Structure 1
């Protein structure tokens, strides 16, 4: 029997020239090509179009200008994980520190070269706009629609493996908790931000205990994978917030593009997780 795999994508996946079905097919083809085993039935649940109208546009060439206060606060909270936030920003919040400068401080703390720093600035601008679009309100229309879209894909495909990358790990996690009948033999979270305090963990639905976080009861096995250089998969270790069955947050996937899903899909830990799973 063929192993059924369902992917849940992260940020920066809006396909403006395709309808949702076409975008899902395109992503499915890309993910299938990235996975080493070509004998898999791979689908990807596409939800980016449901967030598009909720994502603030503009922001200059790197997306870090004219940010709404809540997105600025998310970036400040994220930067706090690297110990680079000035005391006045902690005390007074958004508007007290230039966000572009703050991202540069994170890059410096992580010893990124100029090219990687520029890439991080552009990524952060896009990333937190989409994260905020999903998490801004506990029961917002966009959040419900995205969660239902992914739940419907799980119900339709009945995957043996659910691969959830980046923001997709948050969506998949909430969809599983909201739909206990969706039995998932294996959940693999890739570059997950689920444990990020204030930005994500404290906004999850349902509300989380201090730690460890709620484990979806409809998941058979949970494997978490993160590159040690992935600046989104914080704090470390992931087990400080959740208790997956296996945690590999020292899994080097790429020297430069350490959050890219294509590299995560090729990671040895991902390959091992898939190889150890049998079709139901």
Structure 2
């Protein structure tokens, strides 16, 4: 057997192994989703969505949890969007290619893979203790902003990098300044990719519980937040709280809350795909 034939056999073996692992993963995921849907769909109704938490499984609801999740989502987007996009624009368009810039690029990429609990500890020290925000929505949003900033910066840079050089050259040839070129040409052309990265990073933030637990988010909140300085809970923490209880009713509630959280995540991911495809249809190089 020649080396080329041996390599082809190895490639086929790896392909078969990859397909087998993918199939097993899909089967496990399908079983998990089937069990969640079977147990949780019977519990989802208007009362479950709009009721406050209760010690009785049949009377409890997720109003405070989904309201807190919505607050966190909006505040995190408001904080992370300008910082992440601005940093990505600066690093890609203005920063000189020095050793310091290379060092920053490597560390920003590495920060995207840091466990979320580390950001929780960082948020606890900076926002809760040093800045005296307490276990508020604002502290939670700032902590999650730190979590998703590396992702937004990386995706912003990649989206800007994908804009053809001819777009910039044409703008400069017409007498536009560097900032005018970035604002009027580069950003509109790359906005679809930037927005996709932001939405996907927010979908990750929505499912995080560990950093919010560290900064002091509560498992039981008998009121909906009215300002960014109020205490809060979110759906992942509520699910964690219910799954830790032995009563079967709370296990059903947890399954129903998981379905709601999955719907929010799927909607965000679907919105990201739609906006990306729409932007790609608008701009043809």
Q: Which has the higher strand share?
A: 1
TM-score between both structures, scaled by the size of structure 1: 0.23
Larger RCO: 1 or 2 (CA < 8 Å, sep 6+): 2
TM-score between both structures, scaled by the size of structure 2: 0.23
Q: Which has the higher helix share?
A: 2
